[in-house]
């Protein structure tokens, strides 16, 4: 059994820096995709929860986490946990700020537990902040985002869908 000097917290910090391929300004720690890091039987187990099922990004994230473990020189594996299901509520406030600065409207509001998602949410333009926006398409550049346009500055923008 190898005895590494690296703590779970250090591993968390390193793998938490893995970026989301969809939105490179966000890390998996920002997204809340990174769930846990633990030692188990001499190896490190990193647990991640996928975001949108339609996102091929998860394979890339998994691969990047494995590469990071290799770089750290630790024996480990990545475990994908589907329950509890990821929701945009898990995204950190810092992540939402980064998203806005990147030009994508962040998910808004809290998802009602067990209830329907509120349809009255206002999506603010990430460019000028105007609440006067229109959804152009339910699917933007990827299935995780929808395409919107601001009626004030006339600019189209992506909205990270709340689930």
Q: ∠ CA 127-19-43 to the nearest 5 degrees? A: 155
Q: 35 vs 149, which CB is nearer to Zn ion? A: 149
* Residue 100 touches Zn ion, criterion: CB under 5 A: no
Backbone φ and ψ for 157, nearest 5 degrees, come out as -150, 160
Measured from the CB of residue 134, what is the shortest distance to Zn ion in angstroms? 11
Least distance between Zn ion and beta carbon 18 (Å): 31
Compare residues 77 and 154 and give the one whose CB is closer to Zn ion: 154
**Helices marked H in the chain — which ranges?**
8-15, 28-31, 57-72, 93-101
Residues 11, 44 contacting (CB under 8 angstroms): yes
Shortest approach of Zn ion to residue 130 CB, angstroms? 5
Interatomic CA distance for residues 88 and 81, integer angstroms: 16
Q: Which of 125, 144, 148, 158 binds Zn ion (CB under 5 A)?
A: 125
Beta carbon of residue 132, minimum distance to Zn ion (angstroms, whole number): 8
The residues binding Zn ion (CB under 5 A) are 125, 127-128, 130, 150, 152-153
């Amino acid at each position: 059994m190898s005895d590494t000097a690296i703590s779970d917290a250090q591993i968390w910090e390193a793998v938490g820096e893995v970026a989301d391929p969809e939105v490179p300004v966000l890390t998996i720690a920002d997204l809340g995709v990174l769930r846990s890091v633990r030692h188990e039987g001499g190896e490190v187990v990193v647990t991640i929860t996928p975001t949108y099922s339609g996102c091929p990004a998860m394979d890339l994230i998994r691969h990047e986490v494995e590469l990071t473990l290799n770089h750290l020189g630790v024996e480990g594996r990545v475990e994908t946990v589907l329950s509890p299901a990821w929701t945009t509520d898990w995204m950190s406030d810092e992540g939402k700020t980064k998203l806005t600065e990147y030009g994508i409207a962040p998910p808004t509001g809290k998802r009602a537990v067990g209830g329907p998602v509120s349809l009255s949410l206002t999506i603010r333009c990430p460019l000028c902040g105007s609440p006067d926006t229109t959804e152009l398409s339910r699917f933007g550049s990827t299935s995780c985002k929808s395409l919107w346009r601001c009626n004030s500055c006339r600019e189209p923008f992506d909205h990270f869908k709340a689930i």
